[in-house]
Amino acid sequence: MRRTSRLVLLLGIFLAALTFVVVLFLGQGNNPSVNPNQPSAPPTQLPTVVAAVDIPLGTVVTQDMLSSRTIAVPSREVNVLGDVSEGVGKTARTNITAGAQVHSTDFQNRAVPITVPTGKRAFPVQVNELTGVLNLLDVGDTVDLIISLRGDAFPVVQVLADGSVTVVSGINPLSVKLPLLLQDVQIIGVLDAPAPAPAEGQAAAPAASQKPTITGANKLLVLAVTPAQAEVLLFARTSGTLDAILRPPSDAGQTVVTTGVILKTLVTTYGILPPEIVQVPIPTPLKK
């Protein structure tokens, strides 16, 4: 009897302990303070990027110029960076003093992002459908540039007996085309003309369904050129018409030698017929 009573007592203690654990578990599950679906409190401190050294205007930021600190949220400024990697490689558009918080607005944010290769300069050239391969040129393409000049760019002169020089007018009025001006020039930026607004009551067509059309709009190409090439382009841009012709990627680094074309070349090499003077007889007035 004593052994049976002892087993009953142990069983009762076990059931009581089990009941206590179940009640405790259910009570915690109903406690709002430990509800897993309840949003956690916002952080009071966050990592913040600060300048480790003075960063002058126009500096390309490197890893050692920035550091990270944990700063109280109320002390963090607007648009401040939270990770050092967000600022590395960017160009400062303002002076940033050591210890100051670094913001996204401290860096260049061009409407047309371009990267000028080392040793090159960015030079703009305006083209249209005729001079720019139907306006299909884009960033990364490489082009050759040709200049065409009017005949008056090469005036014909005559040395007179007294040693003076006079320009002979009326000779070679047609255009003169020089050889390839520059070769293997890369486009690093493109600025398109704004798309025409749809007519009243007409919805704009989806971009995917639109095909290139001749609009007469101009496009601005930003080319990566050497300083010497920039001088050539500036003179050419003010003296004639520049055409950009598209190169295949497989021709990168390759150049060719051309002789150029003038009116005489077209006549002697390609059989173009020069104009002839036609004498028209003048009718004899009738006698009264």
CATH number, domain with residue 51:
3.90.1210.10
Do 127 and 235 have their domain in common? yes
pLDDT tens track for 44-81: 899 999 999 999 998 999 999 999 999 999 999 999 99
The position carrying tokens 């060719």 is 256
| Closest to 172 measured CA to CA, from 272, 259, 242, 275 | 275
Q: What does the pLDDT read at residue 278?
A: 76
Same domain, 64 and 175: no
Q: Are 219 and 127 in contact (CB under 8 A)?
A: yes
Q: Is residue 207 part of a domain?
A: no
- Shared domain for 156 and 53, answered yes or no, is no
- Domain-located, residue 186: yes
Residues 180 and 227 placed together within one structural domain of the fold:
yes
* 258 and 131 share one domain: yes
Split into its structural domains, the chain has a count of 2
Which value, to the nearest 10 degrees, does the dihedral of the CA atoms of residues 140, 144, 150, 154 take? 130
Q: Is 278 within a domain?
A: no
Same structural domain for residues 65 and 172? no
Q: Domain check: are 140 and 171 in the same one?
A: yes
Would you say residue 178 lies in a domain? Answer: yes
- Neighbour-count burial of 86, counting CB atoms closer than 10 A to its CB (0-12 exposed, 13-18 middle, 19+ buried): middle
Measure the CA–CA gap between 122 and 233, rounded to whole angstroms.
Answer: 12
Range of the domain at 66: 45-106
What's residue 208's pLDDT? Answer: 46
Do residues 129 and 189 both lie within one domain?
yes
92 and 143 share a domain?
Answer: no
Same domain, 137 and 258: yes
Task: Return the pLDDT at 284.
Answer: 78
- pLDDT per residue as tens, the chain (288 positions): 555 666 666 677 777 777 766 666 665 555 555 555 666 788 889 999 999 999 999 899 999 999 999 999 999 999 999 999 999 999 999 999 999 999 999 998 776 678 889 999 999 999 888 888 877 888 999 999 998 876 666 666 777 888 887 776 665 545 555 668 899 999 999 887 665 555 565 555 555 445 556 666 788 899 999 999 999 999 988 888 888 999 998 888 888 888 888 777 888 888 888 777 777 788 777 776
Under a CB-based contact definition with an 8 Å cutoff, are residues 112 and 222 in contact? yes
d(CA 104, CA 115): 18
Is the same domain home to 254 and 140? yes
Residues 64 and 143 both lie in one domain: no
Strand order in the sheet with 241-246: 121-127, 219-225, 176-192, 142-149, 241-246
Residue 237 falls inside a structural domain: yes
Task: Please give the pLDDT value at position 274.
Answer: 76
Query: 231 in a domain, yes or no?
Result: yes
Q: Is residue 165 part of a domain?
A: yes
**Position 167 in a domain:** yes
pLDDT at 105: 92
The pLDDT value recorded for residue 224 is 95
